[in-house]
Amino acid sequence: DGGITQSPKYLFRKEGQNVTLSCEQNLNHDAMYWYRQDPGQGLRLIYYSQIVNDFQKGDIAEGYSVSREKKESFPLTVTSAQKNPTAFYLCASSIDRASGAYNEQFFGPGTRLTVL
Amino acid sequence: AQSVSQHNHHVILSEAASLELGCNYSYGGTVNLFWYVQYPGQHLQLLLKYFSGDPLVKGIKGFEAEFIKSKFSFNLRKPSVQWSDTAEYFCAVNAPAFNKFYFGSGTKLNVKP
């Protein structure tokens, strides 16, 4: 059963703590993305990665970090430097555009992070 | 940075009414266009997409969208909505020139039974 899994579904964190959100895909996609979804603001890109061991900042990367050590995994760390971390976080993947295939993104179920 | 505008933030319709959700984008080059839907409590999923060819694209569940290049628009339509269409709808753009997607702010559709 191919797809994208994100864990946990709900996450609570105390202020000042770092927290890592998991994202795994078994679609054999090269590219992976992290978005933040806030009411009325749509999806805003945090980080993306087109290939293992490489990633780029998106539009709102400050206070976040990522790694891409394996093709199927793209964890996101929300650091204490992120000023307003309470949000819904979505992970997505797509076939790398360099392959010539037209992309559509496939999304995981999301993680709702609440900072207490 | 590119932008995608969805002018209707919240739409309320009765069942059987017709739907049109607006989407405008700013990039002047070749684009790929998408509509995604997020049903309550579910994953974001693809409704339809346009890459090239016929500008009138048909998607799942009776939805369609028309690409009008001169207006930089990709409006979503459905002739007769159902209560089960209650969801949030997102327009998105990507292009060969840039390797990421730009999403609109979303439109929440409430269909009253």
Contact A61, A12 (CB under 8 A): no
Q: How far apart are CA B63 and CA B44, in angstroms?
A: 16
Q: How far apart are CA B96 and CA B19, in angstroms?
A: 30
Closest-CA residue of B relative to A50 is: B99
Q: What angle do CA B29, B33, A73 make, to 5 degrees?
A: 105
Contacts of B103 in chain A (CB under 8 A): 35, 42-44
pLDDT at B41: 86
Q: Is A103–B96 a contact, with Cβ atoms under 8 angstroms apart?
A: no
β-strand pairing of B4-5 with B98-103: unpaired
- Residue B84: phi and psi, rounded to 5, are -70, -5
pLDDT at B111: 97
Question: Which tokens sit at A61?
Answer: 């990367």
A66-113 pLDDT per residue, tens: 999 999 999 999 998 888 899 999 999 988 755 544 578 899 999 999
CA B20 from centroid of its chain's CA atoms:
9
pLDDT at A101: 46
pLDDT at B101: 87
A3-48 pLDDT per residue, tens: 999 989 999 999 889 999 999 999 999 999 999 999 888 899 999 9
Closest-CA distance, A4 to chain B, in angstroms, reads 10
Average pLDDT over residues B84-105: 89
Contacts of B48 in chain A (CB under 8 A): none
Contact A80, A56 (CB under 8 A): no
For residue A101, give Cα distances in angstroms to A48, A97, A116, B101.
Answer: 18, 6, 43, 15
To test the contact with chain B by mutation, choose from A104, A106, A111, A112 the residue with the greatest count of B C-beta atoms within 10 A, namely A104
Label residues A67-100 b or e (16+ Cβ within 10 Å = b): ebeebbebbbebeeebeebebebbbbbbbbbeee
Q: How far apart are CA A97 and CA A101, in angstroms?
A: 6
For chain A, list residues whose CB is within 8 angstroms of any CB belonging to chain B.
Answer: 31, 33, 35, 40-45, 48, 50, 58-59, 90, 92, 97, 102-110
Average pLDDT over residues B24-34: 90
Contact B46, B63 (CB under 8 A): no
pLDDT at A100: 47
pLDDT at A2: 65
**pLDDT of B23 above 80:** yes
Q: How far apart are CA A47 and CA A33, in angstroms?
A: 6
Q: Is B101–A110 a contact, with Cβ atoms under 8 angstroms apart?
A: no
Choice between A50 and B84, residue whose per-residue pLDDT is larger: B84
Contact A68, A52 (CB under 8 A): yes
Closest-CA residue of B relative to A43 is: B103
Choice between B54 and A1, residue whose per-residue pLDDT is larger: B54
Q: Which of the four pLDDT bands, split at 50, 70 and 90, describes residue B67?
A: very high
